């Protein structure tokens, strides 16, 4: 395939990433297409099947090695869902055995929670947030 086709595909995917925000998945495919276009223009692209293999390989490698770092840098977690919740108290709705999940009340909202402690937590008692994992609170009595 002509180098300009790969370059157009790469630029188009980067523009689509900006417009629809796929959490950088299209960006890495677009960057891979630009790399294949550059290699092809330098005479290193090989036959068409090899260019497609290069595109797939570069896409996967870029995503594996760079996506997490770039995502953390540009996409910040919502306020109130990070380490600042650790140590705060929650009200447990129903009994939670060790390792069990349930719901708790915190700041006027219901949250999913997991008992990571060594003792069960009784219903209508308070527990302490130990860690936040996504939107799930890890709590202990």
Q: Are residues 68 and 88 in the same domain?
A: no
Torsion over CA: 60, 66, 72, 73 (sign): negative
In this prediction, residue 74 carries a pLDDT of 78
Domain boundaries, position 130: 83-140
Looking only at the bridges linking them, the beta strands covering 109-115 and 136-140 are parallel
Q: Which residues contact 37 (CB under 8 A, 6 or more apart)?
A: 3, 4, 5, 6, 7, 9, 10
- Domain CATH number, residue 110: 2.40.50.140
In this prediction, residue 76 carries a pLDDT of 64
| CA separation for the pair 26, 9 (Å, rounded) | 11
Q: Are residues 13 and 70 in the same domain?
A: yes
Structural domain count of the chain: 2
Q: Are 139 and 115 in contact (CB under 8 A)?
A: yes
| pLDDT tens digits in sequence order for the chain, 141 residues long | 999 999 999 999 999 999 998 888 999 999 999 999 999 999 998 999 999 999 999 999 999 999 888 887 877 655 555 677 888 999 999 999 998 999 999 888 899 999 998 999 999 999 999 988 878 889 998
């Amino acid at each position: 395939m002509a180098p300009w086709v790969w370059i157009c595909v790469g630029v188009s995917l980067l523009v689509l990433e900006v417009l629809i925000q796929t959490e950088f998945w299209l960006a890495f495919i677009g960057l891979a297409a630009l790399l294949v276009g550059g290699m092809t223009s330098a005479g290193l692209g090989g036959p068409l099947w090899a260019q497609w293999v290069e595109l797939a390989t570069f896409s996967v490698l870029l995503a594996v090695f760079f996506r997490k770092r770039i995502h953390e840098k540009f996409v910040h977690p919502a306020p109130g869902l990070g380490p600042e919740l650790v140590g705060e108290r929650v009200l447990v709705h129903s009994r939670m055995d060790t390792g069990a999940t349930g719901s708790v009340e915190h700041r006027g909202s219901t949250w999913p929670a997991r008992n990571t402690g060594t003792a069960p937590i009784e219903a209508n008692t308070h527990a302490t947030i130990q860690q936040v994992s996504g939107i799930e609170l890890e709590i202990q009595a």
